């Protein structure tokens, strides 16, 4: 994938819980083994988000440790970001309205599962790893709901 394709596929992304700064083309590159990544977001010294130029997959590339695929494509990443933003707005609305039963301790867990299912419907790779970015983000939304 070239920079124009990547930028186009990420142009409409929503804000996600990643502390790094989003980059503009031309993207710096990172070579890991036989893969070449266009670095689209960077949290210097900690991690980058990169798009595999060969297959378009989006990866979290930590400064130390193992890389993890976030999505199968930049378009899927954008779709997941929009779904996450909608879920975050819903969680905020529910928290502000304090909708729920005080005895419903599973409310946050149910919301987390709901978000995970929606993310999986967009791109199953997004939630394959329970410690991955999207899975943790969904769990944190569930935690944000009052009991």
- The two three-digit tokens of residue 59, written as one number: 């990866």
Residue 114, Cα to own-chain centre: how many angstroms?
Answer: 16
Each domain of the chain, given as residue ranges in start order, spans 3-71, 74-143
Q: Let me know: does 70 contact 77? Beta carbons within 8 Å.
A: yes
Measure the CA angle with vertex 144, ends 142 and 147; round to 5°: 85
Nearest to 76 by CA among 54, 55, 91: 55
pLDDT tens track of the chain, all 147 residues?
Answer: 999 999 999 999 999 999 999 999 999 999 999 999 999 999 999 999 999 999 999 999 999 999 999 999 999 999 999 999 999 999 999 888 876 555 556 889 999 999 999 999 999 999 999 999 999 999 999 999 876
Nearest to 20 by CA among 44, 50, 36, 38: 44
The answer to whether the predicted template modeling score (pTM) of the entire model surpasses 0.85 is: yes
């Amino acid at each position: 994938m070239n920079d124009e394709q990547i930028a186009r596929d990420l142009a409409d992304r929503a804000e996600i819980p990643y502390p790094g700064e989003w980059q503009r083309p031309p993207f710096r590159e990172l070579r890991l083994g036989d893969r070449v990544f266009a670095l689209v977001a960077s949290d210097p010294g900690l991690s980058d988000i990169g798009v595999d130029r060969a297959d378009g997959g989006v990866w979290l590339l930590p400064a130390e440790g193992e890389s993890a695929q976030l999505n199968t494509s930049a378009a899927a990443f954008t779709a997941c970001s929009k779904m996450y933003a909608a879920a975050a707005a819903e969680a905020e609305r529910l928290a502000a309205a304090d909708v729920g039963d005080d005895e419903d301790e599973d409310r946050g867990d149910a919301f987390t599962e709901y978000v995970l299912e929606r993310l999986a419907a967009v791109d199953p790779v997004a939630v394959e790893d329970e410690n991955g970015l999207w899975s943790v983000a969904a769990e944190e939304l569930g935690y944000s709901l009052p009991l």
